Amino acid sequence: MKLRIDITACDGRGLCAEVVPELVSLDDWGFPIIFADVPAELAEHARLAVRLCPRLALRLER
């Protein structure tokens, strides 16, 4: 499973980095740097990050 972002929709709110810091870090301007490969044990957290993104910028790909 891959965690993907539509960077044009992202506003740098940063919720994703709080929910799955293992997969998302923030750059110096608060925009996410994403480690795309989601290990099985983090799948639930990744789904939560997708659900919580206020800009609907995240999605999961099989």
62 binds other proteins (CB under 8 A): no
CB of 10 to other proteins, least distance (A): 6
Look at the alpha carbons of 41, 47, 48, 49 in this order and tell me if their dihedral is positive or negative.
positive
Judged by CB under 8 A, the residue of 1, 2, 3, 8 near other proteins is 8
Judged by CB under 8 A, the residue of 1, 14, 15, 31 near other proteins is 31
C-alpha to C-alpha distance for 18 and 55, rounded to whole angstroms: 15
C-alpha to C-alpha distance for 50 and 58, rounded to whole angstroms: 5
- Residues interacting with other proteins, by CB under 8 A? 6-12, 27-31, 33
